[in-house]
């Protein structure tokens, strides 16, 4: 494992806060919170504006998980439809709209991947054929260069400078929804090594120091879905013990979803998908 600690001193000296900078708004443009409030009041135009603002980022995140353009477009439409239907569940007190949308998009994308993999396994049993799943990181290109915010560049740079083993562990946990045990099996790596790689990689991204460091590490794993089931009970007990301090930590960790998404280059979204989405929304409102 010595190679994982090589040339990391500079990375560890960087201070990367888990607060992201969203694309700058035009003068007079409504904030994300304004748009969510209007969506909660069943305003289709607000959803249209939110789609224009973030569909590229969300699609890039989806593509990192499922690797299929057509399926990504279909899932993007479903996600924005869910945003419309579930807007009442969004609370400004618990975080920013983009963080809520990224969490929703990642969950739906991983669910879609797992269903696809389950179908592939069933088909393999019936046809005795092997279907290979792509393992490489997907780099989504767009026709135009996208201007990245300073925070996105900083997060991306830190991730790119992580040792390859730590990059792989974070990729499998965040973009594939794998637990530590699943990552260990896929990479043929001891479970303890996987846990260390995740904790070191996430620590470098956050570079945050808290008096309850073990809980902080567990919270980072918890929000990306990599905490083992047998660790959940201890985590929840500690969460209750630390009270508001723990809740603030978890809320801060959830911003990691947003940081990862904003570190991606937005993908080109389909005008036809938006048109179909808005038609469905308007029909639903009239009905």
What domains, with CATH codes, occur in the chain?
A: 29-146+267-287 (1.10.1740.10), 148-264 (1.10.10.10)
Whole-number Å distance between alpha carbons of 65 and 54: 17
DSSP letter for 212, please: S
The pLDDT score that the predictor gives to residue 94 is: 73
Q: Which residues of 62-91 are buried (b: 16+ CB within 10 A; e: fewer)?
A: bbbbbebeebbbbbbbebbbebbeebeebe
Q: Is the pTM of this model over 0.75?
A: no
Distances (CA, A) of 256 to 26, 117, 124: 26, 26, 36
The number of beta carbons lying within 10 Å of the beta carbon of residue 150 is: 8
Residue carrying structure tokens 């049993």: 125
Distances (CA, A) of 23 to 20, 98, 213, 263: 10, 11, 32, 12
The pLDDT score that the predictor gives to residue 271 is: 84
Whole-number Å distance between alpha carbons of 197 and 200: 5
DSSP letter for 115, please: H
The pLDDT score that the predictor gives to residue 152 is: 61
Q: Which residues contact 101 (CB under 8 A, 6 or more apart)?
A: 54, 58, 79, 83
Low-confidence ranges of the chain (pLDDT < 50): 1-21, 126, 128-150, 208-211
The pLDDT score that the predictor gives to residue 3 is: 43
Whole-number Å distance between alpha carbons of 125 and 119: 10
Whole-number Å distance between alpha carbons of 194 and 222: 15
């Amino acid at each position: 494992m010595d190679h994982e600690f090589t040339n990391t001193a500079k990375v560890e000296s960087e201070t990367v806060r888990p607060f992201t900078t969203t694309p700058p708004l035009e003068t007079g443009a409504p904030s994300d919170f304004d748009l969510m409030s209007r969506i909660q009041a069943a305003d289709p135009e607000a959803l249209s504006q939110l789609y224009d603002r973030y569909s590229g980022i969300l699609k890039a995140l989806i593509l990192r998980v499922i690797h299929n353009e057509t399926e990504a477009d279909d899932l993007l439409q479903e996600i924005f439809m869910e945003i419309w239907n579930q807007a009442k569940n969004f609370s400004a007190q618990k975080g920013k709209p983009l963080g809520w949308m990224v969490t929703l998009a990642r969950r739906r994308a991983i669910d879609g991947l797992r269903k696809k993999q389950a179908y592939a396994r069933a088909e393999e049993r019936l046809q005795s054929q092997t279907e290979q799943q792509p393992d490489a990181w997907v780099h989504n290109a767009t026709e135009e260069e996208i201007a990245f915010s300073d925070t996105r560049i900083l997060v991306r740079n830190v991730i790119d400078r992580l040792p390859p083993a730590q990059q792989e562990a974070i990729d499998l946990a965040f973009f594939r929804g794998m637990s530590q045990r699943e990552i260990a099996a896929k990479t043929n790596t001891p479970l303890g090594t996987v846990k260390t790689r995740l904790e070191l990689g996430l620590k470098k991204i956050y570079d945050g120091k808290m008096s309850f460091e073990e809980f902080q590490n567990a919270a980072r794993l918890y929000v990306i879905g990599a905490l083992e089931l047998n660790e959940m009970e201890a985590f929840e007990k500690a969460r209750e013990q630390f009270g508001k301090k723990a809740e603030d930590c978890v809320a801060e960790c959830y911003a990691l979803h947003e940081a990862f998404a904003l570190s991606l280059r937005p993908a080109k979204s389909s005008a036809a998908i938006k048109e179909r989405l808005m038609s469905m929304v308007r029909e639903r409102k009239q009905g």
